Structure 1
Amino acid sequence: MTISTGAIGVFDSGVGGLSVLQHIRQTLPHERLIYVADSGHVPYGDKSTDYIEQRSHTLTRFLIGQGADAVVIACNTATAAAVASLRSEFSLPIVGMEPAVKPAVAATRSGVVGVLATIGTLESARFAALLERYGEEVEIVTQGCPGLVEQVELGELNSARTLELVKRYTIPLLERGADTLILGCTHYPFLAPLIRDAVGANITLVDTGAAVALQLRRRIQTELPARAHGDGSTRFFTSGDAGQASRIMSALWKSDVVAARLPLEFL
């Protein structure tokens, strides 16, 4: 049996998926990771499903060309738009995201769960199915958050403008009685300290990065058993400005990052 050394490819609409990549690195420290920030097309939340699906297929082809034998869609909106078609086209393990409704339902004490997410995620059929599955157990209150993704893309994690947006989007959920908030976009965990300051210590914040990393490990062990560990390296790419991406990614990754621009045919 041939033992191959592959890589894990991860993509997001921008830099937010680094919050998932951090969990993947912690869970699979020896794997070779390749990350693509599609910042030239961010945000996905206001794009059509067809547009997001096309970008998802383009980025997946790039990652496979770079040696990826498993792919993580580190974006709730892209998962909703494209995971089914990606799995039908590509035979490798593809792991997606979805808002962490199940653990939030288990965590709530008040019986009210708030969801912070992009409009694209909230309007998706996958999210509607989640609401149908768990909505009878608790009250689920949703809140679209235009502008938050862009603030993270700019590296504005603590600015007055970002705090203003966070308060605007969380206050209605708290007024409805939510004691648990789902961070339904991979950009939002980078705003968790700011959100915590805005909502107080008694509100539970839930994201899915750790669960995705564990699911990825299970899929690799089950579906790619004849596979050697990688070298623990991490490579970064962007469809946006490489200099800006390197600066923002370095701040979020908490280590120096040099992001390469995607080849022209993948832009």
Structure 2
Amino acid sequence: MIEITTSENKKVYFASDQHLGAPTPEKSFPREKKFVAWLNEVKKDAEAIFLLGDLFDFWFEYETVVPKGFVRVLGKLAEIRDSGIPIYFFVGNHDLWMKDYFQKELNIPVYHSPQKFLINNKIFFIGHGDGLGPEDKGYKRMKKVFTFPLFKWMFKWLHPDLGVKLGQYMSVKNKMISGEEDAKFLGEENEWLVQYCKRKLESEHYDYFVFGHRHLPLEIKLQKNSTYINLGDWINYYTFGAFDTTSFKLTEFN
């Protein structure tokens, strides 16, 4: 378990679901600029930054090729990381085909499953959130196909011009992949991630569960000292999380 202790007047920041590139690079460009502006703002007092997946609406790493574009956000992440601020990246369901590009080029670790962190003596369980909890069976079946080694091996033999265009088309059109069809509060008893967190608490205590994927900013008290946070997205809400020495706050970036 990685431990993070914030210095005086420092914060740990969280953001998720930027979906850069969707629905087109041209329409996505203002959102990319806004996200870069947010990175510029938070780097002033960031102890660490967590990006919880779906930064890109589609991402596939060939052996020598990555998708074109996103120069501003990649450059800003490199700048922040080079300044000494740790950045932690969790793959989402749109960028689950990440391999080692972020690690090698940006020195940013990439996680493919939720992880525990100890931040200012508070236990965090952090991840993107896709495929967790009961139900969501259609997506779970689809994820098994997408992550099956033979499928990934076959896909990489498509020419990048064809493979990336196909992946982008599927990401925009398939709402089950994007999770956007569920972007309404379903009630605590029907929120799959809430049910997942409650089950986790039966065996171990966590102060905060922090996820993305739902495209809906949520803060739900699970127990007296345990809270579920969903970070929302950068399509409709432009929300992010900030944790200082004692408390977590969801905020809209204007």
**Same fold flag (TM > 0.5):** no
Q: What TM-score do you get using the length of structure 1 for normalisation?
A: 0.32
| Higher relative contact order (CA closer than 8 Å, sequence separation 6+) | 1
The structure carrying a bigger helix percent of its residues is 1
The structure carrying a bigger strand percent of its residues is 2
Q: What TM-score do you get using the length of structure 2 for normalisation?
A: 0.33
